[in-house]
Amino acid sequence: MKNLVIYYSREGENYVNGGLKNLSKGNTEIVAEYIKNAVGADLFEVETVKEYSKSYMTCIEEAKAELRENARPEIKECLTDISGYDNIVVAGPCWWGTYPCAIFTQLEKLDFTGKNVFPVMTHEGSGIAGAPQALKKYCKGAQVGEGLAIHGADAAKSEKTIASWAEKNLK
């Protein structure tokens, strides 16, 4: 099975267990790397042309406005062909209950017919939230498999949990 992880992850100030902390690597990026280490996968990072604010509070407002407008922020690079993959993991932080809109910019460009897709979400309490529904909506023709929710603040300590989910679902 050939695996691809499409992910978005924001470094900078984030809310960690009740306080603000500056992160040099985003939580979802840590999770994406653990998936790769466990079962082998290509990683594709979705990066926006216009960066979100490094300030958590400002970013919260930017993300809220985007969601309200159902925005499709421009991304630096766009994947156009996933025909070589069987399993596609879509990993991102929970932003207001769903993925950041930039993930949707990417998903709408791809043909998911016959693929297996897996929702992965890092969060500070909302769990998997709207990730499975989002994949049902944006990955037309795909089978949506078992999801994985990882508490963002625990991402670095979650290698075992992530590896056992990956071994079960992506082999």
| Residues lying near ligand FMN in the complex (CB under 6 A) | 9-10, 14-15, 23, 26-29, 56, 59-60, 63, 93-97, 122-126, 152
Nearer to ligand FMN, 115 or 123 (CB): 123
Nearer to ligand FMN, 61 or 167 (CB): 61
Nearer residue to ligand FMN within complex by CB, 111 or 132: 132
Query: Is the CA virtual torsion 15, 17, 21, 26 positive or negative?
Result: negative
Whether the CB-CB separation of 163 and 37 falls below 8 Å is answered with yes
Q: Which residues have CB under 8 Å from 15's CB, separation 6+?
A: 21, 56, 124
Q: What's the CA angle centered on 75, arms 73 and 76, to 5 degrees?
A: 150
Compute φ and ψ for 155, nearest 5 degrees.
Answer: -55, -45
Q: How far is the CB of 21 from ligand FMN (least distance, A)?
A: 10
| Nearest approach, Cβ of residue 114 and ligand FMN (Å) | 29
Q: Which is nearer to ligand FMN, 62 or 115 (CB)?
A: 62
- Are the C-beta atoms of 87 and 6 separated by less than 8 Å? no
Beta carbon of residue 124, minimum distance to ligand FMN (angstroms, whole number) = 4
